[in-house]
A and B are shown apart, each in its own frame.
Chain A
């Protein structure tokens, strides 16, 4: 039986972790994630979980501790944001290339400098090439559901990869929303007991993690790492099917909103998708056929499926809450790559919005949809890449 609650995104993720009851958790505070690990630490202190907490002196150490615990044979979690994720950077690659299914909510926050604690996607986008699976969440419910599903995805015997579950800092992490919790037992049955794979603590079968591998085999190991990523999409969909049976909530590799019969569309991640959907409804009422595509699985990126979903459109705007300075926004680059093989492709533009927690307003969505509408009519775009909601 689902329980209806009013909670923040951080609270929901902490509760999901409590329900899963992992073996080990690396804990280090950083805004806006702090509140999630603080709540989880309370569960540990109150005996609500059997998790062993490792309090560390930095996120670099936190990820290192998680890697050790995961290689030893435990079900391992941690959480971070922004500078914390940046400080983990070198260890993120170790976790994925050692094929350790560590589960980590990432509460998205801007990177310094200037120092800023508010929500944008520059932290997780900076970690997109670390070999982690990335699942993005629009609201607290999705963050909760994705956290639970992440265990089944990362721990799948054909996958064994770490997973980041991304949710927007403050906008989702600290806002109270109505959502539904599953029962503890339902979650435990859904994720199942942790299955070991090459655990270090199996002392009858000694083994080593992290060898030196030079020109003879490194290239082959990276090829194998690419291969496992190609299997992730099907596992994500299978897990989503099982999750739908349990919860009634349907998930795919991306969500579409009024896209099938649309002429123009916005591609956008996480919380800003909600605002955009409302504005799309307003334009639909005026007879303008706008739609939306919100990626859920960002790594691996489902190129073929996204191309298929967008190919009928006249114009598409990809909106990025992060910038790759001197290039396009990271989401734009993926969507452009996805569309490139199509013979007939939509006009494509890139808008950078909401950096450092700058509000994304309905008027911004309206401005973009109006521009898309004009572009579709005139068959030309004004600017390939542009900042919106920025003062001149």
Chain B
């Protein structure tokens, strides 16, 4: 595809479609990876609510495995995770380990 010239651009750099961020994968930014431990998960969905991107897919009201394409490793899901009986359902692990 030919790169756009300055005359072809929408004014104000406005993105004229919805959902285009799905095409921008940011997982490679990550230094720490959240790991989901299903046995400790109570399906409260705090991780889904707090995730600033869309790294926690939910189907039929239940979360599944992380979508690491969008996870920048911010760790907010692990911080907010209440876990079960004192055991976190999300822990952060250093990438490369």
Contacts and interface: CB of A to CB of B under 8 A. Distances in A.
Contact of A224 (B6, B14, B20): B6
A365 to B, nearest CB: 43
B6 to A, nearest CB: 4
A340 interface: no
B4 A217 contact: yes
Contacts of A206: 17-19
A197 B10 CA distance: 11
Contacts, number: 56
Contact of A221 (B3, B6, B19, B20): B6
Contact of B15 (A160, A211, A221): A211
A213 B17 contact: no
A368 to B, nearest CB: 43
Contacts of A197: 11
A3 interface: no
Interface residues of B, number: 18
Given A207-B17, A216-B3, A217-B4, A99 B9 contact: no
Nearest to A228: B11
A182 B84 CA distance: 71
A2 interface: no
Interface string A201-235: 00001111111010011001101100110000000
A123 B86 CA distance: 57
Contacts of B21: 208
B61 interface: no
Q: Which of A97, A209, A217, A227 counts the most chain B CB atoms within 10 A?
A: A217
B3 A160 contact: no
Interface string B1-38: 00111110111111111111100000000000000000
Given A209-B14, A210-B13, A221-B9, 7 more contacts: A99-B11, A100-B12, A198-B14, A207-B15, A211-B13, A216-B3, A221-B6
17 contacts: A97-B12, A98-B12, A98-B14, A205-B16, A206-B19, A207-B17, A208-B15, A209-B15, A210-B13, A211-B13, A216-B3, A217-B4, A220-B5, A221-B6, A224-B6, A224-B11, A228-B11
Kindly list the 10 A-B residue pairs having the minimum CB-CB distance in the complex, ordered from nearest: A206-B18, A99-B12, A220-B6, A223-B6, A208-B15, A98-B12, A224-B6, A99-B11, A198-B14, A207-B16
